[in-house]
Amino acid sequence: MTVSRSKRFIFIDTKQHVNKKQVFLFGSIIASFCLSGAFLIALYIEYLHNPVFHSFVQSRGIFL
């Protein structure tokens, strides 16, 4: 059991092992959200600075 103390609280870790599959799964989910967010930001920047892309997106009925 691991006990760490701060000024007011005592944290006790009762779980001795972490399932590596769960860590990998949650890490993959977080990484995919980060990559998709970065992709959307890059797409929006391209939309703002490229008039050809801007007109293409609007011709498809997508308004950002």
Contact in structure between 1 and 13 (CB atoms under 8 Å): yes
Low-confidence ranges of the chain (pLDDT < 50): 1
Q: One-letter amino acid identity for 10?
A: I
**Domain extent listing, the chain:** 20-64
Neighbouring CB atoms inside 10 A of 53's CB total 13
Q: Determine the pLDDT at residue 59.
A: 85
Q: What is the pTM of this model?
A: 0.48
User: What pLDDT is attached to residue 1?
Assistant: 47
